[in-house]
């Protein structure tokens, strides 16, 4: 009898101590995450139904204060759940569902300092996010992360689209596809074609006061490789502290990756007044510099003159563009600005540029100037002028700034993607919000969904943009590039790719030009999302061009976005519904292969007749020989029908669909 009671007490006290593993499933029950500790090692694993998606993968840190890994016991697990819908001020869709189950695993070192670490997992229907919390505690105050030991242990040597970290500047390498095990260190996002019905994308969300994420394959395991400071430290921190979320989008078809809002959901709700934000299209004194027609610096070919800017403002007003970007307007461009940006003055226009007068002129025409702030990587020089410059722009009615960091080393000492850089870019975005300025950032940080918290961060570059079609020595962006970007870079956030080149002749580098047809340039207005979209060509090339009418009509703020059909890097068809009207816009593009694509129109309202205006490749169109032929036709359509469209090699189409009265 006594023995039985003793046994019972032992069993009861055992079950009162925490279990060594717990599971949490997605709201639809399809994804299951397990987290626990085995022989002191914290780990997680993920499965979809019975198939493994991530095999057991280690968690932890190497701190300069010692290893924070391999010596854990579980203090306890906590659960939470959320099911809410929030509204975006602008975006690919208006309402976003944020529905997840959460598991917090509370860890403590078994021996030594008994330091605490939590790992919070959120499991959504479209994937997972997890992050570390360093709670306030006696034996971990200020600390340095020397390495984050998070692993992503893939069950297969799957094909992965990624760009290399080493040797790549500004995230501007081409994405390539090879098996995971054959890659060197890569930067996120990475996109994995695991199986015919399983696609993954690994990235991060809410990158705040931390280093950017890169991944180093060891066999089929991806190890975290944070971008370091020059000191070798990855992150300087002080408890309480949280890491960014590590994100894994899980889809059964390519379009699921684009449809996922997981990264946004893992960011904090909006913190700024959004009433002043604008969306729309802009043109700029920009391509002319990349084509060598004009210069940024002063001289006979200076582009940013009062006279030229007035012409751009007039054109913008006539054609419904809301902004005019002007590069090379301010002091600092004379000399080698790519080496040192300390000469840039962000409040001092060149003498041939009447900043105040132009702002008045633009306002009289309902257009805004977009300030361009190239820093040459001199972050400190920029920070010292931020308040004065942004206050000036606000006073003049400027509501957006394109920033640039042409120098991988900020202030000549720290790399762009290190914690140093991440702190700087955040300061710019926060200061800009104070002065009601939207930011489009070139070079700099890969987006991580921060636009939810700071929707004035409207877009970034962080990719091989259109500019490579002006001066790259390899002929320009290859035909697959633009149908790949939405599945790679685009998963991180809005892209300032700057589409819309209509003139494919390049006097300076004749072999280099957009490797696309004209119709494909139009398709990019639907396929490459940004709320603040450029028509990049010089305005002379738009005069009397019927194709411009598509750009003029295409919104940049959507109620709904749908992937109709896609194969990663081969072709993509998307439909988006305007947020302010009943109109739908459909874009489709292909790689170097000509195709006929079928577009079922079942997204349209039933029992309604619509009129579709279709801009498609015309007879003989081919990106290699003649990119220009385009046919524009009109046709009545309804939700029960389909369209069949021929795409030229590296061709595309763009369709506007509106209800007939």
Residue closer to ligand NOJ by CB (options 407, 415) is 407
Tokens at 236, concatenated:
């300087």
Site mask, ligand NOJ, residues 301-340, x = CB under 6 A?
Answer: --------------------------x-------------
By CB under 6 A, what part of segment 94-133 binds ligand NOJ? none
Task: Give yes or no for residue 520 binding ligand NOJ (CB under 6 A).
Answer: no
Alpha carbon distances (Å) from 431 to 41, 326, 342, 370: 42, 21, 20, 17
Catalytic residues: 467
Distance from C-alpha of 479 to C-alpha of 590, rounded to nearest angstrom: 8
Residue closer to ligand NOJ by CB (options 376, 455) is 376
Smallest gap, in angstroms, from Cβ of residue 299 to ligand NOJ?
Answer: 16
Residue closer to ligand NOJ by CB (options 538, 591) is 538
Distance from C-alpha of 428 to C-alpha of 481, rounded to nearest angstrom: 30
Q: Which residues contact 189 (CB under 8 A, 6 or more apart)?
A: 201, 202, 203, 446, 488, 489, 491, 492
Q: Three-class SS string for 402-424? A: EEECCCCEECCCEECCCHHHHHH
Query: Phi-psi bin for 159: left (phi > 0), alpha (psi -120 to 50), beta?
Result: beta
- Decide: 46 and 54 in contact? Cβ < 8 Å: yes
Task: Give yes or no for residue 499 binding ligand NOJ (CB under 6 A).
Answer: no
| 8 class by beta-carbon count within 10 Å (0-12 exposed, 13-18 middle, 19+ buried) | exposed
Tokens at 360, concatenated:
């008045």
Residue closer to ligand NOJ by CB (options 288, 588) is 288
Smallest gap, in angstroms, from Cβ of residue 376 to ligand NOJ?
Answer: 9
Residue closer to ligand NOJ by CB (options 221, 481) is 481
Smallest gap, in angstroms, from Cβ of residue 324 to ligand NOJ?
Answer: 15
Smallest gap, in angstroms, from Cβ of residue 485 to ligand NOJ?
Answer: 15
Among 109, 147, 151, 374, binds ligand NOJ (CB under 6 A): 374
Smallest gap, in angstroms, from Cβ of residue 193 to ligand NOJ?
Answer: 30
Smallest gap, in angstroms, from Cβ of residue 461 to ligand NOJ?
Answer: 5
Distance from C-alpha of 651 to C-alpha of 618, rounded to nearest angstrom: 10
Among 93, 467, 538, 617, binds ligand NOJ (CB under 6 A): 467
Task: Give yes or no for residue 442 binding ligand NOJ (CB under 6 A).
Answer: yes
Instruction: Output the CA torsion 334→335→340→344 (10° steps).
Output: -10
Residue closer to ligand NOJ by CB (options 541, 561) is 541
Total binding residues toward ligand NOJ, as defined by CB under 6 A: 8
By CB under 6 A, what part of segment 402-431 binds ligand NOJ? 404, 406
Smallest gap, in angstroms, from Cβ of residue 408 to ligand NOJ?
Answer: 12
Distance from C-alpha of 36 to C-alpha of 105, rounded to nearest angstrom: 8
Residue closer to ligand NOJ by CB (options 289, 568) is 289
Nearest to 623 by CA among 496, 467, 482: 482
Q: Which residues bind ligand NOJ (CB under 6 A)?
A: 286, 327, 374, 404, 406, 442, 461, 467
């Amino acid at each position: 009898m006594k023995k039985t009671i003793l046994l019972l007490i032992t069993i009861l006290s055992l079950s009162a101590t925490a279990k060594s593993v717990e599971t949490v499933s997605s709201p639809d029950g399809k994804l299951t995450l397990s987290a626990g500790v085995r022989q002191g090692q914290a780990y997680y694993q993920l499965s979809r139904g019975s198939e493994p998606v991530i095999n057991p993968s280690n968690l932890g840190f190497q701190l300069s204060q010692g290893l924070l890994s391999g010596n854990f016991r579980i203090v306890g697990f906590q659960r939470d759940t959320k099911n809410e819908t929030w509204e975006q001020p602008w975006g690919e869709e208006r309402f976003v569902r944020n529905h997840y189950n959460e598991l917090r695993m509370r860890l403590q070192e078994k021996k030594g300092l008994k330091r605490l670490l939590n790992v919070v997992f959120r499991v959504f229907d479209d994937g997972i996010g997890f992050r570390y919390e360093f709670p306030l505690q006696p034996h971990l105050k200020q600390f340095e992360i020397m390495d984050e030991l998070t692993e992503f242990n893939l069950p297969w040597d799957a094909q992965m689209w990624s760009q290399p970290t080493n040797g790549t500047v500004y995230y501007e390498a081409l994405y390539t596809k090879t098996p995971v095990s054959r890659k060197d260190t890569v930067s996120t996002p990475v996109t994995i074609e695991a199986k015919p019905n399983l696609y993954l994308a690994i990235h991060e969300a809410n990158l705040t006061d931390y280093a950017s994420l890169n991944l180093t394959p060891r066999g089929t395991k991806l190890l975290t490789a944070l971008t370091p400071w020059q000191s070798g430290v990855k992150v300087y921190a002080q408890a309480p502290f949280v890491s960014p979320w590590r994100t894994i989008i899980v889809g059964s078809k390519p379009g699921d990756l684009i449809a996922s809002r997981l990264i946004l959901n893992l960011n904090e709700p909006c913190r700024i007044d959004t009433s002043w934000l604008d969306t729309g299209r802009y043109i700029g004194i920009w391509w002319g510099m990349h084509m060598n027609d004009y210069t940024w610096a002063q001289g006979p070919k200076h582009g940013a003159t009062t006279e030229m800017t007035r012409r751009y403002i007039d054109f913008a007003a006539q054609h419904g563009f809301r902004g005019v970007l002007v590069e090379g307007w301010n002091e600092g461009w004379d000399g080698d600005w790519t080496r040192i940006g300390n000469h840039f003055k962000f409040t001092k226009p060149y003498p041939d540029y009447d900043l105040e007068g132009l702002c008045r002129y633009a306002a009289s025409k309902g257009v805004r100037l977009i300030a361009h702030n190239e820093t040459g990587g001199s972050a400190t020089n920029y920070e010292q002028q931020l308040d004065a410059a942004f206050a000036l722009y606000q006073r003049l009615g400027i509501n957006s700034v394109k920033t640039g960091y042409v120098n991988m080393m900020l202030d000549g000492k720290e790399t762009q993607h290190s914690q140093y850089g991440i702190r700087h870019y955040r300061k710019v975005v926060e200061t800009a919000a104070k002065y009601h300025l939207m930011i489009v950032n070139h070079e700099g940080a890969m987006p991580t969904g921060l636009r939810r918290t700071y929707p004035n961060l409207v877009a970034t570059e962080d990719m091989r943009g259109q500019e490579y079609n002006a001066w790259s020595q390899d002929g320009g962006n290859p035909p697959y590039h633009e149908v790949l970007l939405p599945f790679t870079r685009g998963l991180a956030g809005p892209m300032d790719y700057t589409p819309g080149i209509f003139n494919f002749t390049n006097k300076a580098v004749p072999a280099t030009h957009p490797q696309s047809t004209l119709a494909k340039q139009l398709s990019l207005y639907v396929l490459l999302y940004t709320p603040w979209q450029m028509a990049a060509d010089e305005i002379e090339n738009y005069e009397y061009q019927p194709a411009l009418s598509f750009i003029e009509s295409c919104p940049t703020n959507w109620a709904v976005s749908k992937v109709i059909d896609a194969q990663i890097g081969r072709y993509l068809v998307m439909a988006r519904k305007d947020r302010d009207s009943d109109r739908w816009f459909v874009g489709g593009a292909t790689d170097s292969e000509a195709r006929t694509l079928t577009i079922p129109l079942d997204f349209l309202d039933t029992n309604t007749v619509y009129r579709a205006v279709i801009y498609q490749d015309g007879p003989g169109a081919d990106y290699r020989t003649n990119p220009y032929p385009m046919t524009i036709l009109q046709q009545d359509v309804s939700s029960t029908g389909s369209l069949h469209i021929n795409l030229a090699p590296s061709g595309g189409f763009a369709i506007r669909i509106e209800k007939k009265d």
